[in-house]
């Protein structure tokens, strides 16, 4: 079996996601699409509006053949760690021979050339990046300036999806595995565009207005009825604030994004509402996504040293949902992995590093259940 992988969050699953799955199979010529998806919290440091099993079910009904979990330690982390963690797991599955991803522009060859250009981040790259940051420019503008100074194509790294795509490509090169990449040109709304469109709105626009008049045309018919029962993610705000209050500056410094005095800034704001904390801590140098991710990672106990230890450990494959018609083939393919397949909530037989990583996933799931008032069970489902 030849498998094309997709790294995703699907928060929520919409028409654009269904399109990427369709294109992944078409462009790669693979037999199956395997999604590796964040659990209950996202790379932007936000709770998902549906739990991981409901989103995995939507993905399978939308064309995926199987959905496995991206461990929380990597899912709530900067782009480089998000990509490294996903590729660590995907590259351990022999049948995974392709990776498809959404991108604003750029060919496979351009992403590969650019990944090689920034693979080790030369002294020149670091010098230009740090100088731009010191001058007060945003991280994305500073990164673009450094990329251009080293001979890169500026337009390739202007957009968030492309920056992630570049990190995926670099992560593939680091694995040394023969995994081909297939960029799928994004259609419809731009990343994080808050306005609802006719057919292809961004996930953030749908989250902002889940009961909006146009939403029905932007999501598959099996997703739309569930939106009325979406989780109110503001329920997590007080918990994040509480964890900020009970953490000291050194603890905050130990999560990804901490340092440079940002932890002290957050502690000085701890008595404000969460949105005010994020707003007042955000600057050109420190985007709101970094602030939210720090607060979320702190609340989930996801620390930099642990994440780096997990990147060097033998981990696990955690299937969330599998299509019934190909379940035997998919599970057989996963079982050939270097890592054990875990279909339930128990990982006692895992090696020490993997067990620690798995326990972070268990805590994430239990916390989401508790705060959202749900009582889901942590077992794989057949769709």
Tell me 215's DSSP state: G
Of 100, 102, 97, 34, give the one whose Cα is nearest residue 70: 34
Asked whether residue 112 is domain-assigned, the answer is no
Spatial neighbors of 135 by CB under 8 A, at least 6 apart, are none
Of 17, 20, 24, 27, give the one whose Cα is nearest residue 222: 17
Same domain, 14 and 59: yes
CATH code, 357: 3.40.50.620
Please tell me the predicted confidence (pLDDT) of residue 192. Answer: 62
Same domain, 334 and 186: yes
Same domain, 11 and 87: yes
Same domain, 198 and 141: no
Report the sign of the C-alpha dihedral through residues 160, 161, 166, 168, in that order: positive
Asked whether residue 114 is domain-assigned, the answer is no
Asked whether residue 110 is domain-assigned, the answer is no
Domain edge (last residue) among 305, 336, 360:
305
Spatial neighbors of 252 by CB under 8 A, at least 6 apart, are 244, 258, 262, 263, 266, 267, 294, 298
Domain edge (last residue) among 305, 330, 361:
305
Same domain, 79 and 194: yes
Same domain, 86 and 177: yes
- Number of structural domains the chain divides into: 3
Same domain, 263 and 200: no
Same domain, 218 and 177: yes
Output the tens digit of pLDDT for each of the chain's 383 residues. 999 999 999 999 999 999 999 999 999 999 999 999 999 999 999 999 999 999 999 999 999 999 999 999 999 999 999 999 999 999 999 999 999 999 999 999 999 999 988 877 777 888 898 899 888 888 788 888 988 888 888 888 887 788 899 999 999 999 999 999 999 998 875 666 667 887 888 999 999 989 888 899 999 999 999 999 999 999 999 999 999 999 999 999 999 999 989 999 999 999 999 999 999 999 988 999 999 999 999 999 999 999 999 999 999 999 999 999 999 999 999 999 999 999 999 888 899 899 999 999 999 999 999 999 999 999 999 99
Same domain, 300 and 313: no
Instruction: Label residue 350 exposed, middle or buried (CB < 10 Å: 0-12, 13-18, 19+).
Output: buried
Is the separation of the CB atoms in 217 and 199 below 8 Å?
yes
Is the separation of the CB atoms in 318 and 352 below 8 Å?
no
Asked whether residue 213 is domain-assigned, the answer is yes
Please tell me the predicted confidence (pLDDT) of residue 126. Answer: 84
CA separation for the pair 38, 120 (Å, rounded): 27
Please tell me the predicted confidence (pLDDT) of residue 190. Answer: 62
Report the sign of the C-alpha dihedral through residues 220, 71, 290, 152, in that order: negative
Which stretch of DSSP H or E encloses residue 15?
Answer: helix 15-28
CA separation for the pair 69, 52 (Å, rounded): 8
- Domain limits at 327? 3-105+160-231+306-382
Asked whether residue 152 is domain-assigned, the answer is yes
Asked whether residue 239 is domain-assigned, the answer is yes
Predicted structure pTM score: 0.95
Same domain, 57 and 143: no
Same domain, 11 and 85: yes
């Amino acid at each position: 079996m030849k498998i094309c992988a997709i790294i995703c969050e699907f928060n929520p699953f919409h028409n654009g996601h269904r399109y990427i799955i369709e294109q992944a199979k078409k462009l790669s010529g693979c037999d199956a699409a395997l999604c590796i998806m964040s659990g209950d919290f996202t790379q932007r440091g936000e709770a998902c509006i549906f739990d991981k099993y409901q989103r995995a079910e939507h993905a399978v009904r939308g064309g995926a053949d199987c959905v496995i979990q991206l461990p929380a330690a990597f899912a709530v982390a900067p782009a480089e760690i998000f990509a490294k963690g996903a590729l660590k797991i995907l590259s351990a599955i022999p049948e995974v021979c392709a990776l498809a991803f959404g991108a604003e522009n750029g060919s496979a060859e351009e992403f590969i050339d650019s990944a090689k250009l920034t693979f080790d981040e030369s002294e020149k790259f670091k010098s230009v990046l740090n100088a731009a940051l010191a001058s007060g420019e945003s991280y994305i503008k500073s990164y673009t300036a450094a990329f251009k100074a080293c001979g890169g194509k500026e337009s390739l790294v202007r957009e968030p999806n492309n920056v992630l795509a570049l990190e995926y490509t670099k992560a593939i090169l680091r694995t040394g595995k023969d995994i081909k990449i297939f960029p799928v040109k994004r259609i419809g709304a731009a990343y994080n565009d808050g306005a609802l469109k006719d057919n292809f709105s961004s996930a953030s626009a749908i989250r902002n207005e889940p009961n909006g008049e146009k939403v029905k045309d932007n999501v598959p018919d099996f997703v739309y009825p569930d939106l009325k029962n979406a989780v109110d993610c503001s329920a997590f705000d007080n918990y994040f604030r509480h964890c900020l209050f009970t953490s000291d500056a050194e603890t905050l410094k130990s999560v990804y994004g901490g340092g440079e005095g940002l932890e002290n800034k957050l502690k000085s704001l701890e008595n404000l509402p969460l949105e005010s904390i994020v707003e007042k801590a955000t600057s050109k140098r420190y985007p709101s996504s970094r602030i939210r991710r720090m607060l979320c990672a702190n609340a989930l106990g996801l620390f930099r040293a642990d994440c780096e230890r997990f990147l060097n450990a033998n981990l696990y494959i955690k299937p969330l949902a599998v299509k019934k018609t190909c379940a035997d083939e998919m599970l057989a393919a996963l079982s050939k992995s270097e890592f054990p397949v875990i279909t339930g909530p128990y990982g006692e037989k895992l090696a020490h590093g993997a067990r620690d990583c798995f326990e972070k996933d268990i805590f994430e799931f239990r916390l989401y259940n508790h705060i959202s008032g749900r009582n889901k069970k942590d077992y794989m489902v057949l769709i």
